[in-house]
Amino acid sequence: MENQCLAVPFVPAQTWDLLYDPATALAEGTVFPGLNKPFFAAPEGCNTTLPAAADDPQILFSQYCFVLDDLLLYLDTHPQDEQAKACYQSFLVKKKELQKSASCGCCMTDHFEWDKKPLVWEGGHC
């Protein structure tokens, strides 16, 4: 708090706390409950279009990748946080295991085979 003084912005540093599960994280746009500040015109719990992991194994890959994206930014400003580092590593392992498993061909197709599946902007994903 010593940095709080007149005429300069101050934002308190986030501290490590419990995380959302990966499905909730992707639906809410953050893995950190403390940073989830929805707009009243977009009430919580109305994410109706995101498929469930049970119906779409590829969405699980998107969920893990997103948790990693959010944790990476946390680590950028908390590089000494051992709990966060361990959590990041655990999701990295989960992502790699999913990539290896037969149920998900996520990001396995070589880039030059663009015509083998729908393009990402057409609604195809990983």
Partner 1 sequence: MWKYEQRLQYPVKINKTCPKTAQYIMSQYGGPDGEMAASMRYLSQRYTMPDKQVGGLLTDIGTEELAHMEIICAIVYQLTRNLTPEEAKTAGFDAYYIDHTAGIWPAAAAGIPFNACEFQSKGDAITDLAEDMAAEQKARSTYDNILRVVTDPEVRDPIKFLRAREVVHFQRFGEALEKTKDRLDAKNYYYYNPEFDKQFGKQI
Residues that bind partner 1 (CB under 8 A): 2-3, 5, 7-14, 26-30, 32, 35-39, 41-42, 46-51, 59, 61-62, 65-66, 69-70, 72-74, 76-79, 106-107, 109, 111, 120-123, 125-126
Q: How far apart are CB 25 and partner 1 at their closest, in Å?
A: 10
Please give the angle made by the CA atoms of 18, 19 and 20, to the nearest 5 degrees.
Answer: 135
Closer residue to partner 1 in complex, CB, 51/96: 51
Computed over its alpha carbons, how large is the radius of gyration of the chain?
18
Rounded to an integer, what distance in angstroms lies between the CA atom of residue 39 and that of residue 46? 12
Q: How far apart are CB 90 and partner 1 at their closest, in Å?
A: 20
Whether the Cβ atoms of residue 24 and residue 63 lie closer than 8 Å to each other: no
